Structure 1
Amino acid sequence: MPYVNVQITKGATKSQKAEIVKGITNSLVRVLGKKPEHTHIVIQEIEEQDWGFAGLLTDEWKKQQSA
């Protein structure tokens, strides 16, 4: 029973999340022969201020990139 935990920053639409779930499930079926009905995928959305990147919180990093 595959269990996949996907962590992303907040902002993905329901449609985008559905596409992620479908794509990961299809990959597990194709590559490992896993059954879709036994595959569990959890998407956790993290606030940008709670995610670090390049030594900065992601919201601060994005501000620097747009400046």
Structure 2
Amino acid sequence: MPLVHIDLIEGRSPEQLKGLVKDVTEAVTKNTGAPAEHVHVVLNEMAKDHYSVGGILKSDEK
């Protein structure tokens, strides 16, 4: 049972997220041979004020 965790900053549309999990599932299936119904994808969306790069919160970027 492949389990894929994806952390990303919030803001994508439901359609984008659906496309992401579809494409990731297909890639895992293609490269591992696992059936799609056994591939689990967990999306963790973070608020921009809960993530920083170089000491700057993403919410503070212009």
Instruction: Tell me, yes or no, whether TM beats 0.5.
Output: yes
The structural deviation recorded for 1:41 is: 0.5
Aligned residues: 62
Question: Quick one: which amino acid aligns to residue 35 of structure 2?
Answer: K
In the other structure, the counterpart of 1:50 is 50
Aligned to 1:28: 28
Q: Please report the RMSD computed on the Cα atoms of aligned residues, expressed in angstroms.
A: 0.9
Question: The residue matched to 1:26 in structure 2 has which SS?
Answer: helix
1:15-59 superposed Cα distances (whole Å, 9 cap, x missing partner): 000011001000011111111000110111100000011221111
Structure 1, unpaired ranges of 5+: none
What does residue 15 of structure 2 align with? Answer: 15
Gap runs ≥5 in structure 2: none
Which has the greater radius of gyration? 1
The residue type paired with residue 57 of structure 1 is L
Matches of 2:52 and 2:39 in 1, distance apart?
29
Percent identity, please: 27
Structure 1 residue runs of 4+, over 4 Å off?
none
Rounded to whole Å, the distance in 2 between the matches of 1:14 and 1:58 is 21
TM-score normalised by the chain length of structure 2: 0.91
